[in-house]
Amino acid sequence: MSGTASSPAVSVLTPVQRPVGRFLHELHASLDAQRDVTWEWIIQVDGGQSLLRRVPHAIRTDPRVSAEANGRWFGQAVTRNLALSRTSHALLQTVDADDVLLPGALAAGAGALVAEPELALVFGRTWLLLPDGRRAPGKNLYRPGRIDPGVLVRDWERRGGSCSIVVASSMWRTAFVRAHGGWPAAIAGLDVLLLLAINGLHPARCLDSDTYLYRSHPQQVHRSPVRFAMRPHYRRIARQMISARSEVGLRVEREVHPAARA
């Protein structure tokens, strides 16, 4: 059992470009080991219907799993948003198709979001799973605690356009992701763009928990040459977004509070 009727309910969202049965089996096992939550796993395959056959049968026939294919190649942003449109729950855990959730990850994230309704997202400690099987600490610059609006944005700027956490490990409040239109159309950094947009307005929390195992391997889409080539473009888009939000925010303040002009 993954939970009871009174447990927090979480939608787990996984976009898949090239299904690898071994990786998906490991992720499924990590989900099955989660306790004190009710979960659904939304798998969205980018490509033709035939690719669904590469998703292991045991996963496709699990009633907690909903696997669909786009029908053609649309790219990661559209794939994520098609999956988002099929989610049922108020809490949303993203997990990449080659990664693993650590024991207690869903309960830790859901518990924090339930306890603090103003939070938009939470994340815990990430570990890197290296090709030789060893584990190393993943990127996370924060001590456990609340992260005020704009902190992740300022730290991204301070680091020259490099994110300070593993964004894939985040658990979001689904309504916040939908209210921002889901994932933007970008070849690189689309999850970072969403993170910056949401934290620019809403608080987050770093959990005192190990929650995510990030698999590092040469076939990662994240490491492809086109991603590296597109990073300057995504960073320009991010900086334009940050600047525009500041400008629009000032205009709204002046319109609503005319005395601020004085």
pLDDT, tens digit, 9 for 90 and up, residues 123-142: 999 999 988 889 999 989 99
CB within 8 A of 256, min separation 6: which ones? none
- Whole-angstrom Cα distance, residue 109 to residue 8? 10
Its pTM stands at 0.90
- Whole-angstrom Cα distance, residue 110 to residue 9? 8
Domains and CATH numbers, the chain: 9-261 (3.90.550.10)
Contact (Cβ atoms closer than 8 angstroms) between residue 80 and residue 15? yes
Q: CA-CA-CA-CA torsion for 124, 129, 134, 135, nearest 10 degrees?
A: -10
The proportion of the chain whose per-residue pLDDT surpasses 70, expressed as a percent, equals 90
Distances (CA, A) of 93 to 11, 111, 121, 132, 204: 6, 13, 9, 27, 14
From the list 238, 236, 160, the residue with the least C-alpha distance to 194 is 238
Residue 51 pLDDT: 97
Q: List pLDDT tens digits, range 153-195.
A: 999 999 999 999 999 999 999 999 999 999 999 888 999 999 9
Residue 262 pLDDT: 44
> For the ranges 102-111, 168-177, 215-224, which has the lowest average pLDDT?
215-224
User: Judging by DSSP bridges, how do beta strands 91-94 and 145-147 pair with one another?
Assistant: unpaired
From the list 210, 198, 204, the residue with the least C-alpha distance to 238 is 198
Q: List pLDDT tens digits, range 65-75.
A: 999 999 999 99
- Whole-angstrom Cα distance, residue 213 to residue 219? 17
Instruction: Report, in angstroms and rounded to the nearest whole number, the Rg of the chain calculated over CA atoms.
Output: 19
